């Protein structure tokens, strides 16, 4: 009888152990893929992909896929044929979303147009050509409040111009004069600035380039976004 009970105990333990493993395949895949990618690559998460047998791998703010044995690393997009929906793109957008409340308006140059009901945050480097292009595009917007967070990442001159703009009597005018009209800011740049806080926010939320836009729902649009896409996004938030 004791021998029989011992066998039952071993079988039960084996079933429990195997069941635990099968219940947590994501952790097994994460461990395996992390080992293969090496210590220099940080796998943030692993979750089932919408395609059977594949797993989504999140490395930094980028999405990859792998199989259950972590033998392959797949880079590309999953598109649902029936609807044409780009599942990877949508997932990437969700992962890049922030809480609007995480932004600190006091660290931004505020520009209110019309009733200001629509809100937009822009991370910008004053020496960024694409940022200047975007600013010209944003001139077409009305009934909007734009918060510009100076993010000098291109050069020491970017940092100096950011300080001069922020320390000007009218930072918004100084910023627009430079970005739109090419008038060099004349502020001394010796006041207290939020540049370090803006850079820290960028690091925390993976803002690696300028311009980067954020909408009130937390979604981000990188690059010199076209006015049609901006208006389309605003309309979707109504």
pLDDT digits (tens, 9 = 90+) for 194-220: 999 999 999 988 899 999 999 999 999
| Rounded (10°) CA dihedral 44, 64, 151, 115 | -100
Pairwise CA distance, residues 95 & 80, whole Å: 19
Predicted confidence at residue 55, as pLDDT, reads: 93
- The strand ranges marked E within 164-236 are 212-215, 220-222
* pLDDT confidence band for 89 (50 / 70 / 90): confident
Mean pLDDT of 118-144: 97
pLDDT (0 to 100) of residue 62: 87
- pLDDT attached to residue 94: 82
pLDDT tens-digit profile of 159-184?
999 999 999 999 999 999 999 999 99
Q: What is the pLDDT of residue 1?
A: 44
- Phi-psi category of 148—alpha, beta or left, where left has phi over 0 and alpha has psi -120 to 50? beta
Backbone angles phi, psi at 37, to 5 degrees: -80, -25
Question: Pick the residue with more confidence: 18 or 235?
Answer: 235
What is the residue-averaged pLDDT of the chain? 88
- Identify the pLDDT of residue 22: 47
Residue 19 has pLDDT above 80, yes or no: no
Higher pLDDT among residues 1 and 64, named by residue: 64
Q: With 80 as the cut, is the pLDDT of residue 6 above it? A: no
What is the predicted pLDDT for the residue at 90? Answer: 85
Structure tokens at 75: 């880079």
User: Going from the N-terminus, what domains does the chain have, and what CATH number goes with each?
Assistant: 24-95 (3.10.450.70), 100-236 (3.40.30.10)
State what percent of residues in the chain have pLDDT above 70: 90
Q: pLDDT band for 103, please (50, 70, 90 cuts).
A: very high
Enumerate residues 6+ apart whose C-beta is below 8 A from 152: 125, 126, 127, 158, 159, 161, 162, 195
Examine the pLDDT at 18 and tell me if it is beyond 60: no
Task: Give yes or no for residue 54 having a pLDDT over 60.
Answer: yes
pLDDT value at residue 152: 97
């Amino acid at each position: 009888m004791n021998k029989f009970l011992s066998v039952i105990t071993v079988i039960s333990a084996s079933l429990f152990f195997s069941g635990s493993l099968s219940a947590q395949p994501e952790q097994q895949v994460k461990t395996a893929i992390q080992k293969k990618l090496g210590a220099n690559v940080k796998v943030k998460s692993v979750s089932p992909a919408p395609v059977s047998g594949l797993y989504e791998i999140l490395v930094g703010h980028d999405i990859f896929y792998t199989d259950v044995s972590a033998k392959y690393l797949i880079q590309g997009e999953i598109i649902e044929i029936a609807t044409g929906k780009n599942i990877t793109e949508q997932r990437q957008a969700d992962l890049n979303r922030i809480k609007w409340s995480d932004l600190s308006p006091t660290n931004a140059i505020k520009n209110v147009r019309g009733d200001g009901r629509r809100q937009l945050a822009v991370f910008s480097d004053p020496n960024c050509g694409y940022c200047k292009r975007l600013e010209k595009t944003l001139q077409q917007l009305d009934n909007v409040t734009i918060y510009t967070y100076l993010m000098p990442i291109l050069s020491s001159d970017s940092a100096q111009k950011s300080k001069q703009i922020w320390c000007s009597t009218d930072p918004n005018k100084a910023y627009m004069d430079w970005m739109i009209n090419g008038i060099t800011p004349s502020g001394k740049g010796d006041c207290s600035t939020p540049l370090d806080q803006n850079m820290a926010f960028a690091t925390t939320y993976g803002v690696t380039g300028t311009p980067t836009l954020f909408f009130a729902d937390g979604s981000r649009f990188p690059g010199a976004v076209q006015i049609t896409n901006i208006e389309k996004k605003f309309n979707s938030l109504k």
